[in-house]
Copies of this chain bind each other. A is one copy, B any other.
Amino acid sequence: MRLSTKGRYGMRAMLALARRYGEGPVPLKEIAEGEGLSEAYLEQLISELRKAGLVRSVRGAQGGYFLGREPATITAGDIIRVLEGPIGPVQCVVEIPGGEVCDCAEYCVERILWERLRDSIVQVLDGITLADLLIEERKLAPANSGLERGCQQN
């Protein structure tokens, strides 16, 4: 039940972009260096986020990436779904836009458990936006606001 690096790195990259929302495009190199991530790998992730519309890009010199929407309208769930796929502890109860997967839904008790778990995960993830996290961040360590690099372990 762990997130892969895609979800973790993606969240960090999005937070990095959120911190600089409104300042124009941020080059990949800066994000990668700031977060201590491989540029080539991060590119893959941010490419998926771009295709999903969560970030936008400007090509060429002085180009870079920026958030596709306001930080207050992007939830953790949006990011995780793009990078880790539909949310759900088992394939059977994964969020699918309309349509059940499991054909034993009638009599399967485990399903009840997994659905409750999924709902609770979704509720947390969809209940927190990038803007919320930025506010928390300011509360956390006002002194650290000039911090160069993010947490190297998440």
Which one of B76, B87, B108, B114 lies within 8 Å of A113 (CB-CB)? B76
In the complex, chain B residues whose CB is within 8 Å of the CB of A120: 120-121, 123-124
Contact check, A11 vs B123: say whether CB atoms are below 8 A apart.
Answer: no
CB < 8 Å neighbour of A90 from B2, B106, B114, B141: B2
Q: How many copies does the complex hold?
A: 2
Is there a chain B Cβ closer than 8 Å to A109's Cβ?
yes
Complex A-B: 24 CB contacts under 8 Å: A1-B7, A2-B91, A3-B89, A11-B110, A12-B110, A15-B110, A91-B153, A104-B152, A106-B144, A107-B144, A107-B147, A108-B151, A109-B133, A109-B136, A109-B137, A109-B140, A110-B151, A110-B154, A112-B136, A113-B124, A113-B133, A117-B125, A120-B123, A120-B124
